[in-house]
Structure 1
Amino acid sequence: MSEAELIWGRNVASAALKGGRSVNKGLLAMGSHGRTVAEIRALAREMGVPVEEIDRRRLDQLAQGANHQGVLALVAARQYVEVTDLLVQARAARQDPLLVLLAHVEDPRNLGAIARSAEAAGAHGLIIPARRAAGVTGTAEKAAAGALEHLPVARVGNLAQCLQRLKGEGLWAIGADMAGEQLYFDADLTGPVVLVVGGEDKGLGTLLKRECDLTVRIPMLGTVPSLNAAVAASLLLYEVVRQRHVRGRA
């Protein structure tokens, strides 16, 4: 893993500065302005982070054509956490754990979008494979709109073993599957839960599906066969939120 990495986007850079991540340098396109840019300048000045204005075409090259909004930052490489840390965080808050395990999601934009929904829904962390899947790259950070500065991410070598361990800790493993046993809004999601979301092409796979306590499906009433992984994850996350809210009012 490299010692530093580039992130881009106004909200992403602002979240990195606010979240206390080690920021080595800020890069702004010449002539950049606006409230968020002014906030980035002020935060960088307060933290002693140098900011350089450079030609927008150079920013385009550094961001490899991504929509950087005129802002890049050179930051310390992401520190992944252990799965145990996610459980400790939930229990310290006296909350039932809510985790999301991604099974071979290869598009970093989907990873980022899922992270954004997970953080907004109050999830305690994201679990991703160490190999053959998207990691937390600049593209993922941009799609997450700053959420990855607040949502801890664990990487594991064996997803099936990770699920076994989480089930041993009392979590209910709920897999999203097109042929799921129940409609997702009929499942009881009020307790400690790890939501298992498959990749764009492979889905959950036989092994992970077997490790799930329950598979749920989202009703598809039109002609398209399935939803984007990020959309499916968002629906499941907010069904957990809804059910816990109702339980809390009971």
Structure 2
Amino acid sequence: MAVRGDHHGRMKRSDKKGAPKGSGGNKRGLRAKGPTPKAENRPYHAAYRARIQKERREETQAAQRKARAKRSLIQVRGGHQLIAGRNPVLEALESDIPVTRVFVAGNLAANKKLSLLLAKASAQGAPIVEVPRSDLDLATEGAVHQGVALEVPEFEYTDLAALFDNAEKNHAKPLIVLLDGVTDPHNLGAIVRSAAAFGASGVVIPGRRSASMNVTAWKASAGAAARLPIARVSNLVNAIRQCKEQGCFVLGLDGGGTSSVSESGLADGPLALVTGAEGDGISRLVKENCDLLTRIEISSAVESLNAAVATGIALFEVAAVRREKTHALPQEL
């Protein structure tokens, strides 16, 4: 309602509305919000979340298709695995492991010995397949393949009895390495290499909570896995008890051990050496079945050693004691 004066100066009420308030004179400058976005474009709407999930699924599927296309040149057959790297390949071929295919990236003619062995594999009926290095990178899952890989049947594990047979065949006292919870294939391969180097009769791994002899472990073993028997058992504690039945003393590597392996007085006899994973160590039940816990002497500045290094040192100590005992024997006249 507006108020105005008449010709006598008196105020008179009027029902006519005045100018609207609130626009500030900028009504034309105000912008409309526009139409409401679709549900699938509103971040807090269920349709939006469904759209994002669908896009992610499509991206994942596209990546998987792309990866499958990249691996198409090297598809390892069922029941087979790859052995990669020149030394592991040489060891495998010299050990007459059956080879189904040989994958080669680049020109390996400069390596005369490898060329001869590849010819041997070809003579046995294994085709040589030339592939791009990138495909070999993918197939070996990042292992250092040095341009060559063999497709062979999956690693053939043996049983515990075969390890004692191996010791008898070599006229040596049994030295069995048992691994408890070592899940890193690099460590497994390195332990197999050390075991072969220091005269062990073989290595025992459990069927669960353990690395297997895959391409990475083969590479880390530098081919020693082709020469040293490796047993896979369903129960590590039972394997320890079987070692005891065969006359072995069982030493467990543990930071809380009372002495070193060489100080134990047991290294020159039939021996089973148990190693656990770095950090977790030997499991409680396995530890309870060891005859003695031994330690590796290290600086206080270092908290622990990984399984492969600790096992290598322990095996070196055993080998040193056995050599010393052998040389100390009186010579026959």
TM-score norm. by structure 1 comes to 0.95
Contact 1:106 / 1:200 at 8 angstroms: preserved in 2?
no
Rg larger for: 2
Question: Aligned equivalents of 2:167 and 2:255: distance in 1?
Answer: 30
- Bigger relative contact order, structure 1 or 2, given CA contacts below 8 A and separation 6+? 1
Equivalences for 1:78-227 in 2 at 5 Å? 78-188=155-265, 189-227=267-305
Q: Quick check: 1:241 aligned with 2:319?
A: yes
1:18·1:43 contact (CA, 8 Å) conserved in 2?
A: no
- Offset, 1:93: 2.6
Q: Is the deviation greater in 137-146 or in 38-47?
A: 38-47
Compute the displacement of 1:67 (Å): 1.2
- Counterpart in the other structure of 2:103: 27
- Cα offset for 1:183? 2.1
Q: Report the Cα offset of residue 63 of structure 1.
A: 1.1
Offset, 1:4: 1.2
Q: Verify the 8 A CA contact 2:207 2:232 in the aligned structure 1.
A: yes
Q: CA RMSD of the aligned region, Å?
A: 1.4
**What's the CA shift string for 1:190-217, capped at 9, x where partnerless?**
0001110001232112111111111111
Structure 2: how far apart are the matches of 1:204 and 1:154? 19
Question: What amino acid sits opposite 1:4 in the alignment?
Answer: H
Q: CA deviation at 1:46?
A: 4.3
Corresponding letter in the other structure for 2:135: R
Query: What are the ranges of 5 or more consecutive residues in structure 2 without an aligned counterpart?
Result: 1-77, 329-333
Identity among equivalent pairs (%)? 39
Separation of aligned partners in 2, 1:41 and 1:17? 8
Q: Which runs of 5+ in 1 are unaligned?
A: none
Q: Which residue of 1 aligns with 2:310?
A: 232
Distance in 2, Cα, partners of 1:162 & 1:4: 27
Distance 2:274 2:106 in 1: 44
Cα-to-partner distance string for 1:25-66 (whole Å, 9 max, x where unaligned):
111102234325324323324433221211111111111222
> Normalising to structure 2: TM-score of the pair?
0.72
